Every structure is written in C-alpha cells, then in structure tokens.
A and B are shown apart, each in its own frame.
Chain A
Amino acid sequence: MSGFPILATRGLVKRFGGVAAVDGVDLVVDAGEIRCLIGPNGAGKSTLFKCLTHQHQPTSGHVLFEGRDLQGLPTHLIARRGIAIKNQIPSIYANLDVRENIRLATLRRKLTKRELDRAVDLVLAEIGFDNLLAERPAATLSHAHRQWCELGMLLASDPRLALLDEPTAGMTREEMLRTVDIIKRLNATATVIVVEHDLEFIARLAQKVTVLHRGKVLVEDSMERIEANETVRDIYLGRKKDAAYAEG
C-alpha cells in the first residue's frame, strides 16, 4: 500500500454534452494530507468529487485509490474501499434520530454490539452532541448541527479518504471553528480533501491548496503562495477577458 499516493487521478474528464466540467485533471494526494480544493463557481470541484465516487461516471481518465483503479466500481463498493463523501447538498436521514444516523454509518464496520454502541457514543462526543440532541430527529436540527451530523457519519464510517464539499457553508465563525476541530479529528485517521471558499478555514487546515479553473488544475501550492498568485487573483476577480468568459 505504501509507496502509492492515496489518491491519484490521470487525465480525468467529465463532459455534460458539449461542456467539459472536469477537463483532464491530474491530482495527486498523499496519505495523511488535508488538501484544500478551491476555484471559482463552475471550476468543476463538485463534479470532480462526484466522479471520484462514481456518482457521475467519468467520461475518460482514471482514478487510482491506493494504487488501484476504481474503474467500473459502483458507488457503494467505492464507499467500502474507504472513500467517504459529504456532498455540497447535505444528505442525512432527516426523519431518523441523530444516534440512528451515526449508527447506520457505523454498522458497516463489522463490530460487536458492544463495540458498536461505544463507537457511536464516541462519535457523538466528538461532534459535540449530548444525549438530548442525539435523540432528536435530524430534521429538527439547526443547519450547522445537520452538517456536523453528516460529518459525524463520515467519522463513524472510519474512511481512509474523506471528501468534504463545502462543510462550512452557511456557518457562523464560531461554528466554522468547531467544524475545523471535527475535520482535524477526521484527519487523525483519514486523508481529507475539502472544497471551501472560507479563507480563514483554509488557512487553519490546509497544508497544500489546489486551485481548479475551468475543469483543470491551475496551480498547486501553499496557501500563502496561492494568495499572492496573480493568476489566481485574476480568475477569482474575473479580471482578464479570458477569465471573465470562463465565468459566463
């Protein structure tokens, strides 16, 4: 297993009709990293995530997870290999209580009944839910708590690679900070790739940042260097004619 990066994509392309949302992405992520993926709207971040988990079938190219090609695997088998994902749109079991949500995520881990209960309690503690909150149907939670519930489900499934698509969207600063802690906990056992726009969040987490633009990797560097990068500024502000075209 070692020797391989945990995730490597080779010339990954996803076309929707004539539009290439992901247009030849070569991304290499090493085990243990927290990688941030940024880029303006329409850069192909979410589509890339969906291609990695085969929620979309890539048009061409390869995804190598721990050195093994994922081609042809259905979504649930990719999940069993150890890739967990939080899509941009929150996806939880709204009518089930939080504990059941977490339990369903833990269930696949073939634990004994006692270990299972303990693992669920541990995750609930890690995402900061007390018993009262844990008994509530997930639908009655606040927006931030729902995000944490979903992050808890990812934690509970004990993945090797966690893909997080905008985990702090719509959160207050305090809530964002708590999310940072949860993601750090997730990173203790898993490699994390996270799509975000919040600069403070990125600065607190990422060692390395990858900028996507028009379906391609534009640049890959540390956050300070990215912030100083003229091209990145241009595409975010839409300064060049070419960049403005891409936004439309």
Chain B
Amino acid sequence: MLRHIKNALFPFALVLAAFTGPFVLEPFDLVNLSAFSAMAIAALGLAFVWGTLGILNLGHSVFFGVGAYAYAITVSTFGDSTLAVLIGTMLPIVFSLVLGSCLFFSRLGDVYLGVITLCVTLIFYSFMTSTADPWFHIGPVPLGGFNGITAIPSLNVPGDPQAFLSTEATFSICLLALAGAYILLSLVRSSDAGRIMTAIRENELRSELLGYDIRFYKLLGFALSAAIAGFGGTLYTAVMGFVSPNVFDLPQASQFVLWVIAGGLGTFVGPVVASFAFQLLSCQLGANQVFNTELIFGATIVLFVLLAPQGLQPMIVRMANLKLTYRSGIFRRKEKPA
C-alpha cells in the first residue's frame, strides 16, 4: 500500500502542477515548461527502452523527429491537431518496427545497435537539411531544408480546427501528458511483460532458454519507446510552432542520453527531473551567451559518469535510506518473520 502511494506521488505532483501552473506562472514560462514537458516525455521513452530493456538507442531522437515532422505536415495539411498527434505517434511505431526488425533479427550486439541507430538519425538530419528545394514537399507542405517547417498551427479543441487552445490549456495538457506517459510506462514496467523485458536486459540467454522470444519483446519495447518519443515530438512541435532538421542532429540525440544517465538509468523520475533541469540550464546559458552550452553539457556528462555513475535518483534514494537508518537506530522496523 505504502509503495503504491509512493509511486503515485510523482504523477500526482505533475497533475497538481498542471492545474496550478497557469495561475502562478508567466505565459513565457508556461510555453517553456510545455516544451520541456514534451522533451521529458520523449526522454521517458529512452529511459524505458534503455533502462528496462537494455537497448542502448543512441538515435532515440529519430522517433522524436519523425513524430515532430509528421505532426507539422499533417496539421498544416488538414488543420486538425488531434489527427496530427495521432499520426505523429503512429508513424514512429511503424518506423521502429521496420528498423527494429532489422536490428533484432540480425542479433546485433549493444555497441553496433547504438552506432546504427545513431547513424539512422544522422541520415535523417542530413536528408532533411537538403530539402530546401520546393520539389521536396508532402501535400501542400514544403519540407523547407535547413529552415524546416514554420508557422505550424498549435493544438486545437478536438474536432474544431479554428478553436486553438490557450497557452495555459496547452501547458496543462503537456504536463498531464507527461504524467500519463509516466504512469503508462510504470504500469508496463511492473506488468508481466515488463518484468520479462527486465529479465531480458539481465540475461538474454537465460530468458531464451526459459522459452521467451527475446526479439518479440525487444520489438515491443522498442515500438513503445518510439511511440512515446513521437508523441513527445508532436507536442513539442505544437508548442514551438516550428520544426527543423535539428531534431535529428547530434546534440539532440545526445541530450536524451545525457538526461537518462544524469537522472539514473533504470529510473523514470530521475530522467524527467534531469531533463527539466538541463533544459532550464540550457535556457539560462543560451540567454547570457557566456559559455558554450554543449561544452557545459559535455563536461556534465563526464562528471556524472565519474562521480555518480548510477545517476541522481539512485544516489538520492541511497542517501535518504542511509539517513533513515541512522536516525531510526534501534527502532528500525524488524524484518517480517518468515
């Protein structure tokens, strides 16, 4: 029971923030935090596929980007954002199933998988930057090359393309979506399928010898993470109003990895908190232009790997436990009798 309450604490805080935020924050902050939430959702996808299933996907940003572009093109063509969000979530699933089939059925090792996925996202980057010619268009929407697609309509009331949501409502939706993604992934992780995925991360051979089809579970987890990333991409594009090939580039790809490492591999709360913290930092650094943002991030990732290789969340949990043990001393709760 206690554990359930503890697990519900984080999504509850997000929901609380979703409803109180519009009353206490400036519109500028609301927009920023909406975008951060969208990014955090995508980061959760990586936290799941890497932390639970053990697939080091260095090109997680490709699904984020595909979702972002799919939203941009669909909403610019048809006008309704609901359909666009749906397509932006589904398309990465299809793409991940194709890519995943190639990767998992050929039984590639971890490192090769990371390298190939990273190459895939960079290929997308390279392609998208070379689409400046008006010949590259989908429907009425030109892909726009390096400049990407601009003036993308934001979220609207489902079914009514003219009724755009306010900044406040969009903020609430983004935070609720983050809470929803967190709950969904937590439920999947603690389900039987999720526990089998954990088992596959722990020991592939043993799982296979017990009769589990590891390729099936990897494909399943990969597709789920892609859907989450694509969903994050759609929200990000809806909030920002533009999308450019930068969603596929190296800094973007490495940021997701950085957040998961910093937050703690195998945890969900950590990567979300880390993604907010680093995006906030990035905003501040970008605003005063004193330091190179990437240099700072690079240094941070090195520091984390050296000093807190398990990431923030496990570190904090361990410190809290130590303190509790120390404080409660002899009054510590006895082990339940066998």
Residue positions of A touching B, CB distance < 8 A: 53, 55, 74-77, 79-80, 84-85, 87, 91-96, 100, 103-105, 107-108, 130-132, 153, 157
Contact = CB atoms under 8 A, between A and B. Distances in A.
A104 B210 contact: yes
Contacts of B335: 132
Interface stretch (B136-144, B173-181, B193-201): B193-201
Given A91-B206, A131-B338, A132-B338, A104 B199 contact: yes
Contact of A75 (B195, B203, B209): B209
A85 B210 CA distance: 9
A76 B199 contact: no
Contact of A79 (B195, B196, B208): B208
Q: Find the residue from A84, A104, A157 having the highest chain B CB count within 10 A.
A: A104
Interface string B201-214: 01101111111111
Contact of A93 (B192, B203, B211, B214): B203
Q: Which 6 residue pairs spanning A and B have beta carbons closest together?
A: A79-B211, A131-B338, A93-B202, A80-B211, A91-B206, A75-B208
Contacts of B198: 96
Contacts of A132: 335, 338
8 contacts: A55-B205, A76-B211, A77-B211, A79-B209, A91-B205, A92-B206, A95-B202, A107-B192
Query: How many B residues touch the partner, as a band?
Result: 20 to 34
A155 to B, nearest CB: 12
A76 B192 contact: no
Contacts of B211: 76-77, 79-80, 108, 157
Nearest to A135: B335
Contacts of A153: 206, 210
A100 B122 CA distance: 40
Nearest to B206: A91
A108 B209 contact: no
Contacts of A95: 202
B180 to A, nearest CB: 26
A76 B338 contact: no
B210 A96 contact: no
Contacts of B208: 75-76, 79
Contacts of B205: 55, 87, 91
